[in-house]
Amino acid sequence: KMAGSSAPWIGSAYLFLQSTCKTIVLPSLYESSQKKPRVFKALKLALADSTGSVNGVDMLKVHCSHPHLIVQLKFCKQENCRRFLQSYREGALQESLQNHLQLSLAMTTVPLEMELKAGSEHLDNMLKDEDRCLECIYREKPDRLRDEEITELEECLESLIVHQSTNNNMAVKDCVSLKSPSLPCPSQGSSLSPQVTFIFQGQQFANRTLTPDDHQKFAKLVSKKWKQVGRSLQKSCRALRDPVIDNLALEYDREGLYEQAYQLLLRFIQSEGKKATVARLIAALEENGLISLAEELLDLHSNEDC
C-alpha cells in the first residue's frame, strides 16, 4: 500500500516540559554532562511508550530555556502522531515520563507540567479536536536536521542497552563522557578555551562568557539589526544556520524585536556554552556598525560618565 502512496506524512511540534517541584530544574539537569544521558533516556522511553514504537517520533533538538526543557519533535507517519496525541491528551505520556525520570534520576518523584505547540498554535486548547491538531502539526514542517548531540545520545543509549547485561558501569561511563558544549573536558586543558583578551577600538579587554546582563542589553538595544548580527554569528555557530533566524522572526513576531533578539542570543548561548563569549558578540556588532551597543556591553559609556 505504501508503494502507491504520495509524499510521506511529516509534521513537527514542540513539547514544553517544566517540573512543578522547585528543587528539580529540568534544564539544569539536562545541562549537566552526567545527568543529560539519563534525562535523554527518560524522554526517549516515554516517547516510545506514547507511540508504541521506538521510531514512532524523532527528537530533533532539546532546548534548555529556563524553566522549560523544550523538545522539538518530528513525526513521519500520521498514525504515530495520532497515537502520540491520544497518549498526551489522556495523561499517559506525562505519567510515563514522570516514571522514567524518577527511575533514571533515582528521585522519589518528578512532577511535571506539559505544553504542546505547533508554530504559534497552542495544541492544549484543541486536544479534543484531534484532526485539527494533526493539521497544525502537519503544517509545521521540521526546520532542522537532527542535532548532532541527539545522535550522540541515541548512540550512547543503544550502547548502554547492548552492554547493560555484561558491564553496566562501563556503559554509564561512556555516556558520561559525551561532549557537552558547556562543560569542556578537563583533560583538554586550556587549548579549547577562548582567547583570554581581545582588542576593541585599540583597547584590550578581558574576554568572558556572556552574562544575563549582556543578554538583556543586547535584546533591548540591538533593535531591527538583530537578524544581521545573527547572520554574522551564524558563520561560526551551527545552531544559527538557515533557516533558524527566519524561523525565530516568524515565531516571535507578535512578541516584538526585544523577544526576537533575546531568543537569537539565547540560541547562541545554549549552543556554544562557555564559548559564547563577549569577543564573538562584539565582533558581530562591529561587523554591522553597532559600535554604540558594543561600547555599552563593555561598559565604556559608564566609564566616561565617571
For the chain, the domains span 11-152, 197-298
Give, in words, the CATH class of 11-152.
Answer: alpha beta
pLDDT score of 263 more than 60: yes
pLDDT score of 136 more than 60: yes
**Mean pLDDT calculated for residue range 287-297:** 94
Per-residue pLDDT band for 186 (boundaries 50, 70, 90) equals: very low
> Cα 254–256–257 angle (5° rounding)?
150
Q: Is the dihedral of CA 124, 61, 110, 41 positive or negative?
A: positive
Q: What's the pTM? A: 0.54
Q: How far, CA to CA in Å, does 114 sit from each of 68, 89, 227?
A: 9, 11, 31
Fold of 197-298: Death Domain, Fas (1.10.533)
Closest CA to 212 of 272, 260, 266: 266
pLDDT score of 39 more than 50: yes
Q: For the chain, what is the mean pLDDT?
A: 85
pLDDT score of 191 more than 80: no
In angstroms, the CA 267 to CA 234 distance is 11
Check: CB of residue 182 under 8 Å from CB of residue 31.
yes
**Looking at residue 162, what is its pLDDT?**
53
The three cell numbers locating residue 69: 526543557
pLDDT score of 165 more than 60: no
pLDDT score of 188 more than 70: no
Per-residue pLDDT band for 158 (boundaries 50, 70, 90) equals: confident
Neighbours of 5 (CB within 10 A): 8
Per-residue pLDDT band for 192 (boundaries 50, 70, 90) equals: very low
**Mean pLDDT calculated for residue range 55-72:** 92
Tell me the residue type at 186.
P
